[in-house]
Amino acid sequence: MTTEPASLENLRVLYQDDDYIVVDKHWDIRIDSKMWYEKLTVQAQLRHRFPQLVDTSTYYGFRFCHQLDFSTSGALCVALNKAAAGQAYRCFKDRTVTKAYLALLRGHVEKQTQTLDFSIGKNSTEGKTHMMCIEGTEGCENSKPCQTELMALEYGLYDGEPVTKVLLLPLTGRTHQLRVHCSAINHPIVGDFTYSSGADDGPYRMMLHAHLLYIPLEPQPLLVTSEDPFVPSLDPKWLPQHSLRTLTPTVEALLESRAEKDRKMKEEEQEKVKREENRKKCSKQPESEELSRQCQEWLSEWAGD
């Protein structure tokens, strides 16, 4: 981990196999760009580091499975072939992916565990069309429901001002969701220039980091974590004062909860398939009294659910 700006050479790889690469995206760098003058992107870093893996059938040479904002750092998954990209896409589409972000928020968040539930839409106000906004605010268009879970980890100071270190879990995936939700509860992310109307320009970066990425791929799920960059040894302006919960056990509990949810979903799907098979079997003429009895028994049980 470093506070140095991004360069073409300093791409950090967190995971690599034949199908995927997960990189530790630097802050203040775009994933890709069609602008000729933007030479430094994650795509350019990948081309520089892995020229042999460039896929000439794609525009950027690599298939990015998801997005991270220009100002956000952390775990970013890249598919190395079309089949791998398709499998990852289905996981994101079905919302079975788990992502957890670390952030420093302005002020001390009093409610230590909460679900932020604000619909978010595009801001149509002149000069703010690059921003998102909360439903009901001026210029907000096409808002959609969004939920984010927030868990406070530590209270402390950043450059002498009160801040809270939090873990953020987006349950939906809207543009700038975490930034807008934190701003909506009057605890904006430290260094978020855009959603502070340009006022929060002191820190060297926006303090939002993609810490954990879990994609339930088959047959082997992909689980990657990126180091916590918000530590005093890296940024002495951050001074923790009071710990509320530690990061590792919190993430482990999160993953256990996700695994239990996935298990129940699989059981429900298997039960659904079994019922459909029994329904088809019983819709046909029974071949014997025993089969007829079994069908009637099953139908009675099913009707009582």
Taking a C-beta distance cutoff of 8 angstroms, is the pair 122, 135 a contact?
no
Q: How far apart are CA 236 and CA 22, in angstroms?
A: 28
85 within domain boundaries: yes
Please give the angle made by the CA atoms of 138, 144 and 146, to the nearest 5 degrees: 105
CB-count exposure of residue 94 (10 Å: 0-12, 13-18, 19+): exposed
287 within domain boundaries: no
169 within domain boundaries: yes
C-alpha separations of 20 from 43, 51, 74, 177 in Å: 14, 15, 16, 26
Determine the structural domain holding residue 25 and report its residue range: 12-245
293 within domain boundaries: no
How many other CB atoms are there within 10 angstroms of residue 3's CB atom?
10
User: Can you state the angle between helices 289-303 and 247-283, rounded to 10 degrees?
Assistant: 140
Q: How far apart are CA 64 and CA 76, in angstroms?
A: 8
Structure tokens at 176: 């700038």
Positions annotated as catalytic residues are 69
What's the confidence (pLDDT) of residue 291? 63
Taking a C-beta distance cutoff of 8 angstroms, is the pair 14, 20 a contact?
no
CATH code of residue 86: 3.30.2350.10
265 within domain boundaries: no
What's the confidence (pLDDT) of residue 304? 46
135 within domain boundaries: yes
The total of structural domains in the chain comes to: 1
Residue by residue, pLDDT tens for the chain (305 residues) are: 668 889 999 999 999 999 999 999 999 999 998 887 888 999 999 999 999 999 999 988 999 999 999 999 999 999 999 999 999 999 999 999 999 999 999 999 999 999 999 999 999 998 898 999 999 999 999 999 999 999 999 999 999 999 999 999 999 999 999 999 999 999 999 999 999 988 999 999 999 999 999 999 999 999 999 999 999 999 999 999 999 999 999 999 999 988 888 888 778 888 888 887 777 777 665 556 666 666 666 555 544 44
What's the confidence (pLDDT) of residue 14? 98
72 within domain boundaries: yes
279 within domain boundaries: no
